A and B are shown apart, each in its own frame.
Chain A
Amino acid sequence: MTRRRRRQLFEKEISACSIFGAMDRSGERFRGDGVIKAIANMHVRGNGLGGGFAAYGIYPRYQDYYAFHIMFTGPNMEVKKDAKRVTDAFLAEGFDVVHDEEIPYDDQTRVRDPPLAWRYFVTPNKKGEEAKLPDEDYIVSKVMWVNTRIDNAYVFSSGKNMGVFKGVGFPEEIAEYFMLDRLYEGYIWTAHGRFPTNTQAWWGGAHPFGLLDWTVVHNGEISSYGTNRRYLEMFGYSCTLQTDTEVITYAVDLLMRRQKLPISVVSKILSPPIWNSIDKMSDRERKLATTLRMVYGPLLMNGPFTIIIAHEGEMIGLTDRIRLRPLTAATRGDMLYLSSEEASIRLISPELDEVWTPNGGEPVVGQLNCRKLV
């Protein structure tokens, strides 16, 4: 019997980033195991070149201090330690460091080329000219300084009572590496599985991106990156992490924290309605939409995207205006879930009160029922 040789089939990459977010709107903190299970269920959407988590409410002991997560990269330990020495000196000058330690990790987990990851709990020690700056602006300028001026050192998390954990690997591997299911409890968890399309994968380039307590996970591609970056540079943000998601984080920081715009307006800036739809609006709405497009034109995020933005007490899901990337939202009691795929939500919460497909450009917002935190 002669066997016909089968043609080797082209193995198609079916990947696309996966994002997931879970929030307990009562402020109850929960372990990360469910979120890890959910993001791992979307394994095929990523390709193992990036995974990460952001968790809110994880450092109640140090809740009044800014928690800096800093990675020191380099070909060997010497280089990493050198970067840490320079950073330590820099932090000692501008901050009171109340506690610092290596971020605990499981050395049994096989991840590629992990950096030295250290966390510092700090409070600003402002001197001279800088004494006039609000704390948050001070932190931002120092974070930008570390990221641009100190070789091989990157601050990847800088908020209070929250933390970003990320790296190169599948999200479930990163979770295992940082032991997220065992060590931390938070009331918001966001997660990301990456399929990098335009830039090389590295630990700093994984999602979430964070500045102060604002974090962003992102599925898609920002084709307006150049325009957005140049605009943000005028406000003192420098893009150093070699990926487009960074601009969303800084745009959100600029619009929501510094300019104090509500998400209903911010969503109209990042993913504005198209002119056809603006034409159909009432006079008032049309005036607002037109003004926003004129004033904030350079912050329009062009291209397909879905993002989950989180900061203290709030989680927001948003897609581009014509919904070119998936997002499913669901609620169960106080829980709000946002996910690239419904199956991942069902896996950890089989019964749901409501499940829906959010409209393009319309944010899904989850807020704490009471603003008081742990």
Chain B
Amino acid sequence: MALPTSREGPTGQMLSAAKTPAPAHGPERREWTEMSELTHAPAQRRSIGGQLLGGSQLVLGAILAVLCIAISIAAPQFYSEPNIIAILRQCALVLIVASGMTMLIITAEVDLSVGASLAFVGCIGMAVLNSTHSLTLGMLAALAFAGGVGLFNGLVVTRLRVNSLIATIGTMMMLQGGVYLFTREAVQNHNRLAIFTDLGAGYVGAVPVPVILAALIFAVAYVTLRFTTLGRYLYAVGANEKAVRLSGLRSERLKLFGFVVTGLCVGVAGMILSSLMNAGQPTAGRGFELTVIAAVILGGTSLLGGRGSLFGTLLGVLVLKVIDNGIIILSWNQDLQMVVPGIVIILATYLDIIRNKANVR
């Protein structure tokens, strides 16, 4: 069974009551069907053409495949092990935050403060690490700060009812300025903890640690969205918040959850980033929020909420990072690293619109 968002199932295959074995119910239940003889509904009007294409992931998967093939033809070293590892490492940071962001956008909210928070988190984590020489405490401080930022965003949006776009732009500005109140320059790494260095640069076997962390977070988020009641409620609140509230569920808490989870993901990513840079950089993470949101949207998650999948987000991250990588190994002008993804986002969204049009009559 596919994700809740995908259009599935062959059309015209009506489930007839006769085909399904009658569920065990008391005789009084069976009477319900009597009146159903009056049933009359207009024929379902669904196009067949639209069904041939799967989800928006199909478009994206095709784009990814074309990219990989094209780049490897032009530059065979694309498929070398070091390059693939490099791409995955690049993907890890984005994927970690994009996992939380996917959940949040599914609830029809968005968080633009993740980039600014990422930089601040790195500085705070590094400072705590320097003074305590404990990765656990540094990590906890990072998570507490980033989770707190998420909680703040969530409360502003759900309690004060400020639109999340505006609220998180406000938070972003506060954090971008606030980090300079905290430190004028990069917080250097004074602790020399090997385990901290491993967080960003270490390997387990051939796989970089950040990739493993990203895979873990991705897996937890994936399972949550697909198999749990919580995941279903997140989709539900994005699809129709009023209906969720009328059904006796606390829609605000679900949104709050999305914000906090996104914050915690930023906490993890911020520590990995500071490990990679061996410092907490107040200037890090500029534009990071755009990359994350671009990946999520590229993956077919609707900004209107209720629609989206983590698998799509994974593809979105891969597409963006393969483009980055391709531009580097083909020795193109590095400034294209911003230009090309911009084109791809518009193109992919347009293709998705075409696909949707084929779906609607």
Q: Do A and B come from one complex?
A: no
Interface residues of A, Cβ cutoff 8 Å to B: none
Enumerate chain B interface residues (CB-CB to A < 8 A). none
